[in-house]
Amino acid sequence: MAKAATRDGYGSGLVKVGSNKNVVVLDAGVSDSTRTNKFQEKYPERFFNMGISEQDMVGTAAGLAKCGKIVFATSFAEFLMGRTQDHQLVSVAYSESNVKLIATHTGLAVGEDGPTAQAQNDVGMARAMPTMIVVEPADAVEAEKVVEFLVSHKGPAYVRLGRPEVETIYDDSYAFELGQATKLMDGNAAAIIASGIMVQESLKAAEMLKQENTEVAVINMSSIKPIDKEAIRQAAQTGTIIACQDHNIYGGLGSAVAEVIAAESLNCRFGIVGIKDQFAESGSQEELFKKYGMDAEAIANAVRKAVSG
């Protein structure tokens, strides 16, 4: 299958929706890396390079939104989320501005950029803001479809995108629905719920387990907030849920799934595969995932341990 990064799907999606003259794109000086340069090439009059000034970018985005524009404000996750919390909270979330905060280069998958760029708490920060939806696409096609959805969705959004190329899961017939999970594999022994690049690792883990006659369901929970509660209820019927995220084990997808399990008193074993509340080293995505227990083998081991326990 073809491979592409979710940030590539974002760039393609912007070009598609650019025919809507209300769409405006802002970037904090990293347009080549975030792929907003694709929009810039086609619609230069509606693209604004704000430079390394993320706080100014978010404030400007909110102002443009109040003038009726649909604004996509883009930067690396660590800079976009880490440097603009007050601006997001007041000018975007509290004001319910029609601003789409698009973050790339997330989690340990950033790899060689090192711990100061490996955003690992951004989902928790975004999820805690009222009015803010949170989405993490699994492949480039889904990322493109999310962009199309956001043009029609009025209100604040945080979208988490990745740097590495990943296998294509969906085709162009796929339609993203907010609050709707997608089951990619069936299985009754356990259910793996994942988002972003961890969907890829989860599918590999499921294939490993299948060779051992352990068939597990794999669910792409790209809509983290709102989350698909019914999908979690059905997953709990297997008796075991493993949530997988390229994010700190606190505050991310796993926490969101655990909240549903607790609130609804679902009877199942539960575990989280993610960054174990530590800063990582610099290295390739493959090296880091292996070292910090987040690759396909680690996911398969988490399932084996839970099922046998």
Location of structure tokens 């706080």: 55
| Region class of 295: left (phi > 0), else alpha (psi between -120 and 50), else beta | beta
> Distance between CA 65 and CA 122 in Å, rounded?
23
SS3 assignment, position 103: strand
* Residue 242 tokens, joined: 């493993």
> Distance between CA 296 and CA 305 in Å, rounded?
14
> Distance between CA 184 and CA 239 in Å, rounded?
18
Sign of CA dihedral 178, 93, 71, 55: negative
SS3 assignment, position 303: helix
CA 68 remoteness from chain centre: 27
> Distance between CA 9 and CA 2 in Å, rounded?
13
Kind plus residue range of the DSSP H or E element containing 112: none
Residue 54: active-site member? yes
- What are residue 176's phi and psi, to 5 degrees? -70, 135
Spot the catalytic one: 41, 45, 54, 136. 54
With vertex at residue 69, the alpha carbon angle to CA 156 and CA 73, rounded to the nearest 5 degrees, is 55
Residues carrying an active site annotation: 54
